[in-house]
Amino acid sequence: MAPSYQLALTVFLPTTPNYFRVDQHLSRLRASQATSTSSISHGINGLQDLHDCVDKLLQLASIQQALAQDELLTGSLRLLDICGIAKDSLVQTKEAVQGLQSIFRRRRCDDIELTSKVKKYLTSRKTVKMTIQKALKNLKAMKNQRISPICEKDESNATICILREVEAVTFNVIESLLSLISGPKVPSKLSSWSVVSKLIHSKKVAGEETEINEFENLDAELSTIIAHKTSKSDNIQNQLKELESSIQDFEDGLESLSRRLIKTRVSLLNILNN
């Protein structure tokens, strides 16, 4: 689970519908445990609704006056950057998945060609994981440096506080997605995947149904092919199809979220430049 980044706020919120709607979406996103494919997908959809409300909030004249002296542009740029890293990671992984689908669909392919393609995929995944781990490290450092504003019973401070919490919650969801794509750190030996494979194939944990990380599951299956020179073609094809579908859903969600983040940044630029 990605580490939580939540401002400890007891914020005075003006009693207006716009503030109330933003706070409602924040509460739902704070309460959600974005750790699985479906929960993170719901989280991204929730962020889209949240940022739609933020955009409406930013159109109010009183809000624009309150933000005239605040520095929020750096945060908006970082959100776009981390969102871009997530999108690039998904694109790279999807291209590699589609390359594997092509070879597994063939009725005949020799072991050398299959092994070569699988190794190419795992190499691509290793590159993606390294990029994500670096991004997560930088994100953690940035969070540690972030200074929370003093949230007094004042509309100006309340506006700044709630917008910074919107930023924090958005980081949380994208961070959870990055952690899902990356999975555990790249193992030093392929044989260690045998342990991982047993864990991720477990259908129940503590008597409760659990969702499998599709990225991690496929990595484990493919590593088994390399280690044991065997192929469960039908099973792999189903996993590739499911993973491609999940990636497409994430891509669509992030693209929609990116448009909203850009819109918010433009609004902030207009407010601060006027």
Domain locations along the chain = 17-273
**Which pLDDT value is given to residue 71?**
64
**Which pLDDT value is given to residue 207?**
40
**Which pLDDT value is given to residue 169?**
92
**Which pLDDT value is given to residue 193?**
38
Count CA atoms within 13 Å of residue 75 on its CB side: 21
**Which pLDDT value is given to residue 190?**
40
**Which pLDDT value is given to residue 87?**
96
Evaluate the CA torsion angle 50, 48, 41, 95 in order and state its sign.
negative
Global confidence as pTM: 0.81
**Which pLDDT value is given to residue 213?**
85
**Which pLDDT value is given to residue 196?**
40
* Phi (first) and psi of residue 132, to 5 degrees: -65, -45
CB–CB of 125/93 below 8 Å? yes
**Which pLDDT value is given to residue 35?**
74
Residues of the chain with pLDDT under 70: 1-15, 33-34, 66, 68-71, 107-110, 143-156, 184-212, 228-234
CA angle, 78 as apex, 176 and 252 as ends, to 5°?
A: 55
Alpha helices in the chain (DSSP H): 17-31, 37-58, 61-66, 73-105, 111-145, 155-182, 193-200, 214-228, 233-273
**What are the structure tokens assigned to 256, written together?**
């929609």
CA distances from 223 to 119, 181, 188, 195 (A): 8, 17, 12, 11
